[in-house]
Amino acid sequence: MQEDSKERLEEKKDLEKKGNTKNNNGFNKKILWIIILLAIVVSAVVGYFLYNKMKDEKNKVEYTQLIRDIDEGKIGQIEMTMGSSTAVVTYKDENGNVLDKEDKANKEKLKELTKTAIIPNSQAFIELIQNKVEEGNEISFNPKEQNIIVTIGSGIITFLPTLIMIALIFVLFQMQGLGDKGKVYDPSVSSDKITFEDVAGLKEEKAEMIEIVDFLKEPKKYAKMGARVPKGVLLCGKPGTGKTLIAKAIAGEADVPFISMSGSEFIEMFAGLGASRVRKLFEKAQKISPCIVFIDEIDAIGSRRTNSNGGADAENNQTLNQLLVEMDGFETDGSVIVIAATNRPEMLDEALLRPGRFDRTITIGLPDITDREEILKIHSRNKKVSDEVDFKSIAEDTAGFSGAELENILNEAAILAASKRHKEITNEDIEEAVKKVTVGLEKKDKVVSEKDKKLTAYHEAGHAVVSRYLETQDNVKEVSIIPRGFAGGYTMYKTNEDKFYISKTEMEEKLIALLGGRAAEKIALNDISTGASNDLEVAMKVARDMVTVYGMSEKVGPMSMNLEKDPYQIQLLGNNLEDEIGKEVRTILEKAYENAQELLRIHRDKLDQVAGRLLEKEKINEKEFNEIFDE
């Protein structure tokens, strides 16, 4: 790709500033505060005028009564502004005299004698006063010229509420989406450029992405061959697997701008703004092309369209339709590629997934043991890590962890090391961080009764001893009766391999291990407690999935039913199937519970020894646990 000129770099910087919604939001907040202050001032002024008006209502005289009082000679003075419709009238006192306004002694009396009147026709009223004066009526009439400042002020006060409402609506529209949207990340001017070297693992996925990078760098090479450059790439995977990171790495490798926007940012409270934002996003992309448009959580706007005429559904449909139009309409020279991410691809509309829009779907899975080791090493670059830290061992103990979770573990380890004033992050810090993230914070100072300690010791010992005699279950790494999080104790297992498939035997033995805690309570204490509630919940789900999802029941048969997605699916397979499923799940759980009790009865001595060691030390590691069985 040709190098950008200085003018182009400056243009990108300007667009990046425009795309930074943080600055716009800050400016809008300032305007909003100004409007609020103006509204308070206007409310105070309007309140003041309303208060005076209420006072004037008490001292108001009707126009017809005023004419009669003028004829009878009761009026002493009339003050009026030229062109005004209001006159201030001062009556004579009971002796027929006009009180002196300069005399402070007459202040209260003048308030009672001063009235206001609405004059329908000021010119006719002035002529009437002149006639009465010529007839000998002693009236002091004092017409005043209109004050231009007062006139302008009253006009402003009259129209200010309207102006404030217009400004408020404008700011709300700016905040909701009429302004520029989409954050721009430009690797050519950014100091934190991300490349494929910053993305651990994902070898096959990166190989697929290298083609996208080549498309952006040399689109003419593919055009000569007659190849159509992919318009869109959909990244699917669980949260934290690195979808956003790999999209940024593509932009960094191709050295092109990266416009990022979340799917939820398209949907706001005003109808039509989602479609407007889609148009503005692609307009910006064309201006700074070649570039990558990244839409995170696209299922927020890309979910299946409905026939509902409701406001939210109609707005979602309109936004999705606009996205489809834009992806069909923008230039096909490879200058703009849309990358979207979701962890719910099954929710997306079929029209969005067809070739010509999202041509490729790449699944980003959880990292395996090798990838986890690489991820840990990458995230440890800017941290002081001891040479004794074994990243391979940590990777073995974190099967099923995503990249984001691994980064969080190292961050928690760094926090723990700093709080303990360690010079470097040690293995102990990382192991403690793993426990903190997976189980919860250790509560060493929590007061636990001896009765509860004994119950917890036998419960955790039951899990550990049962697992020790089950071939498919992982080795015990640590057993503790110190409360962590919501758990009164825990049994931690050492995972030595990543498992992509689970056999029926393994699932059955997992149920035995899960119910080992409840079985130990029953055998050792001849009682059961609420401590097994989570074990029972997990076991119930495993047994139900065995029957309804994996087809592992001989009585129900080899069938898979997604009852959460389609609860009426079971009705199509027979009226009695629901009862059969319930009986089979119950049979599986009861059998596992009986097997757990049988194992513990056979190895009751080991159960007592493990429980006794836990009551003595509160926590035993893998070596101490295995020593009990080697005796």
User: Which residues participate in catalysis according to the annotation?
Assistant: 460
Cα-based distances in Å from 327 to 178, 273, 302, 303, 374: 21, 18, 13, 16, 36
Asked whether the beta carbons of 252 and 353 are under 8 A apart, the reply is no
Identity of the amino acid at 445: D
The residue assigned the tokens 């990243």 is 391
The DSSP element (H or E) to which 89 belongs, if any, is strand 86-91
- Burial class (CB within 10 angstroms; exposed 0-12, middle 13-18, buried 19+) of 459: buried
Residue whose tokens read 């001896």: 450
Query: Where does 174-234 have alpha helices with state H?
Result: 203-217, 219-224
Residue 22 has a CB neighbour count (10 Å cut-off) of 8
User: What single string gives the DSSP state of each residue in 438-484?
Assistant: HT--B-TT----HHHHHHHHHHHHHHHHHHHT-TTSPEEEEEE-S-B
Cα separation, 452 vs 112, in Å, equals 86
In whole angstroms, give the CA distance from residue 477 to residue 492.
Answer: 5
Residue 189: CB atoms within 10 Å? 15
In degrees, rounded to 5, the angle at the alpha carbon of residue 435 between the alpha carbons of residues 434 and 437 is 65
Would strands 86-91 and 75-81 be described as parallel, antiparallel, or unpaired? antiparallel
Return contacts of 351-357, CB within 8 angstroms, 24+ apart.
Answer: 351/305, 351/324, 352/298, 352/302, 352/320, 352/323, 352/324, 353/234, 356/231, 356/327, 356/328, 357/231, 357/232, 357/324, 357/327, 357/328
Instruction: Quote the radius of gyration of the chain (alpha carbons, Å).
Output: 40
What angle in degrees, to the nearest 10, is found between the helix axes of 604-617 and 450-468? 130
Helices (H), 299-419: 299-302, 311-329, 350-353, 369-379, 391-397, 403-419
Neighbouring CB atoms inside 10 A of 502's CB total 13
- Between the alpha carbon of residue 563 and those of residues 347, 416, 570, 617, the distances in Å are 16, 43, 7, 46
* Residue of 367, 366, 363 whose CA lies nearest to 236: 363
422 three-class SS: coil
